[in-house]
Structure 1
Amino acid sequence: MVNRVVLIGRLTADPEMRYTQSGVAVTRFSIAVNRNYTNQQGEREVDFINIVAWRGTAETCANYLKKGRLVGVDGRLQISVYENQEGRKVRNAEVIAESVQFLESNRTREGNGSDFGDSSYGGNSGESFGGSNNHNNNNFGGGWNQNNSSTQGRRKADNPFEDEGKPIDLSDDDLPF
């Protein structure tokens, strides 16, 4: 059986981080995701989806994400059922994030001034985090550690699309076919 959710959307508010009684970080946030079709008035409808991140991913989300940031979330759907004050069963759906990827940098976000309902964005930083959900999970995708002061030299190797729009020098020997 498969339970996999992949989403791209904008944060509707700043993430909220808390710690469990045993000291595990948990961060909750919501993203707005445009539907692929328009309604009868020609407007695109939006779904607001609750996301939960744990441990190192939770800490990174709380520290670096802000309202309006475009993110990609890869995780699983979890449905919880509880009884409200009136005695009725309530179902709550949320995505448990296994990894979260920044899809634009802070500079791009500040530069284009788009709202989370705008489907366009100006760049792609490709920063990602998540995966193993261990307590020391502070690595960004590709082994890039956020505490490493020499990240400038490695950034190009970690993000092959950084020079988007510029010609790529390839020889026939580089192609796999």
Structure 2
Amino acid sequence: MAANTVTLIGNLTRDPELRYTTGGRGVASFGLAVNRRYQQNNEWQEQTSFFNVVCWGELGENASATLTKGSRAIVAGRLEQRSWETQDGEKRSVVEVIADEVGPSLRWAQAQVERTERTNTGDGGFSGGGGGGAAPSRAPDPVYGEEEPF
């Protein structure tokens, strides 16, 4: 069995850009700079790697509402390669991180957690939302089942 998981900790290089598919599903993307500091021949070296991160659905909406350029974040997800052809006929390819979880790093900051209500959208997904009244009925989360996140 092949595993394709990655966990990155770094700083956002740009504000998350939130867009919506024609079906109304949110997708946010942002850049993440990951610094590595190591010693070579008794001299400190620094290397920076840049990654494009894609967050789908409610995760993308929440990331877009929470994170900004310069924020330190933790991203857990998988690597995925995407290919396309430009208008000039050139073939292009990119490897992106498709996020499963995103959160602010608390190493040098504090964060306030505001829980959003999960509701069933009818298409198997969930959407956030507030509102009073009776709690909406919802289907089990496809990953966590009936388990509450916190």
User: Does the pair score TM above 0.5?
Assistant: yes
**Residue 90 in structure 1 maps to residue 96 in structure 2:** no
Structure 1 or 2: more helix by fraction: 1
Aligned match of 2:4: 3
Tell me which residue corresponds to 1:25.
Answer: 26
User: Displacement, 1:90?
Assistant: 1.4
SS at match of 2:15: coil
Give the superposed CA RMSD.
2.8
Q: Name the CA shift for 1:11/1:70 in 2 (closer, same or farther; >3 Å).
A: same
Cα pair distance change 1:39/1:32, threshold 3 Å: farther
Supply the AA of the counterpart residue of 2:69.
K
Q: More strand per residue: 1 or 2? A: 2
Other structure's SS at 1:62 match: helix
Task: Report what 2:71 is aligned to.
Answer: 69
Identity %: 34
Q: State the alpha-carbon separation in 1 of the partners of residues 96 and 40 from structure 2.
A: 25
Question: Contact 1:101–1:126 at 8 Å: present in 2 too?
Answer: no
Question: How big is the shift at 1:20?
Answer: 0.3
Q: Is there any run of 5+ residues in structure 2 with no aligned partner, and where?
A: 116-123, 130-147
Tell me by how many angstroms 1:134 deviates.
Answer: 3.3
The TM-score, its normalising length taken from structure 1, stands at 0.59
Query: What is the TM-score when the length of structure 2 is the normalising length?
Result: 0.69
Aligned residues: 122
Counterpart of 2:82, as a letter, is S
Q: Which amino acid aligns with 1:63?
A: A
Pick the aligned partner of 1:44 from 43, 46, 65.
46
Which residue is 1:16 aligned to? 17
Higher mean C-alpha deviation, range 58-67 or range 30-39: 30-39
Q: Which runs of 5+ in 1 are unaligned?
A: 105-120, 145-177
Per-residue CA deviation, residues 13-71 of structure 1 (Å, 9 max, x unaligned), is: 11100000000000000110012436898441211100000111011011110111111
Which residue of the partner structure matches residue 135 of structure 1?
126
Return the letter of the residue paired with 1:82: W
* Alpha-carbon distance between aligned partners in 2 of 1:39 and 1:128, rounded to the nearest angstrom: 44
